Chain A
Amino acid sequence: MGTTASQLGKDLLSEYQVSAQNAHKRFTELLTKDEKDLPNTRVSMERVLTLPELKSNPFRKRICYVFSTSEQKDGSLTFEDFLDLLSAFSDSATLEIKSHYAFRIFDFDDDGTLDCGDLEKLVNCLTGETDETRLTTEEMRQLINNILEESDIDKDGTVNLSEFQHVISRSPDFVSSFKIVL
């Protein structure tokens, strides 16, 4: 029962209910004409961020960095990376997968834990670009203290992956809001 690679790929993809044809169509729209003929092209981050699903997302740059497999760490995505992105954000990805990737997205300095600097950048992303929507330093400090008080179980001043997953698993609407559909 020898199966070809593409069929196996489709089998796995169909398990994730990600429509490969749709994803491929949207991805090739980002490529220029001569790039379309090359296999395994990388699309730069700026072009990926023109997708409407990502354009309004405050974490768009982090998402590109996390799913990118390029050596230069410039956030560029191949088609496989793009599919990884879609399957992690799809409806049928499990809570563990989503929380794992969410943790990596929120970890701005890539050190494996969410410390005060990460949390501050996170809150600033969430409150928008303009000055009137940002929090004051006092409010920020209090907010970060509250977050650490709630989530940091071992009181080391940072939130690690298991603490993060513990908090997220209790949240009723994480799974439904951590979704991107093309």
Chain B
Amino acid sequence: FQLSPSQINDVLRAGELSHKILYLNGKNANSVLRFESNQLASNTPIEDRRSAATCLQTKGMMFGVFDGHAGSACAQAVSERLLHYIAVSLMSRQTLEEIELAVECMKPVLPILQWHKHPNDVEYREITSQYFENLRVYWQHLLDLDTEPGFSLEEAMICAFKRLDSDISLEVQAPQENELMRNIALQVAFSGATACVAHIDGVHLHVANTGDCRAILGVHEEDGTWSTLPLTRDHNAFDEFEIRRLKREHPRSEEKTLFVNDRLLGILMPSRAFGDVQLKWSKELQHSILENSCDVEALNIYQYVPPNYHTPPYLTAEPEVTYHKLRSKDKFLVIASDGLWEMLSNEKVVNLVAGHLTELNVQKPQLAFEKPVNLGYMHSLLLQRKNRGIASLDQNIATHLIRHAIGSNEYGEVDQEKLAAMLTLPEDLARMYRDDITVTVVYFNSETIENYYRNNE
């Protein structure tokens, strides 16, 4: 059984999400032109998540990609909550006070974020109110800090990441009557997720990264070529800084056992993540929590203590934040889970996006002819191409990247047969050949960026 090209397209395009920012002349011009996103599952169900939202109380847009492991619970929770934490961290004291007052008086609360969602991006409805309560505790805490002006963007992002992770950890320790809530809290805490979040406000781009998702910029150089600017480091066993950091944080005696088989304690690929309390809590705490919970196996929670587990925590959710001031030659930002980067290099990705922009991609090759060519030749060439049905092209760049990630042959061209084969792998085998892939591509409006520089010169 073989998938037809249109069936392949249906499978690939199911997760497509795109949003165009209405172009406004003048003051409110957004430096984001549009974004396109897509994801393809390898795990069933998929463990990747993504978020995109516009801050309504502060300026800017946020885009996040979250790669879950040991289940999707943690990635789900983080994708629902993290942007709220960041947004709250960025708000002025006055706005926070207004919101607090509104909550207290049971009045309508100012909306914090405008989400840009795919219909399949579901929510844990049952638990939203609890999440909101904890978010409220967080802003009450911020109000208590009594600092004005508040955080810098970098501080805000770091603080939000850490706070959310600590909330995840505390929620499962807190007594909880409702069994469903308790189970969800358990699943969230005992699974994990890496996160990469970009915050874009005018020309100011901040990327906060925890784990091995990656964000890169596509830069259109003046000579017409494209170059790549990585904005994150992959936090894993291959990163010198991470190795050094972990060695610094743990006794010398553990140096050899920190990374085993390129995994943290021989278990985890990323060296930073949300959740994963197995690598954060003391053994005792883990035991006491799991003993009291009903059916750990039914919840798919791995109950184990890693070997050489002496000085927890080994894992942190603290992100590394990169700042980049956008230039008009910065054309787009790609954030993707490691599923993409395992298959495609940064350069390849940038070239594919750039090629897609100019339709110079492998799917629809530039007509190969040396000018001048005559009309008759061109005509026959076009008819051939028409018959081969080359015209179909992915509108969504994320789909285009995913198609290339899983369908490229050794020449870097998409091979329909390979693509079909990859998409029809049995569930248990799929994970061997490809990871979940989530891609979000954000296009910048160079005109707005230019205007910024023109007006601020």
A, B from the same assembly: no
Give B contacts to A, CB under 8 Å. Answer: none
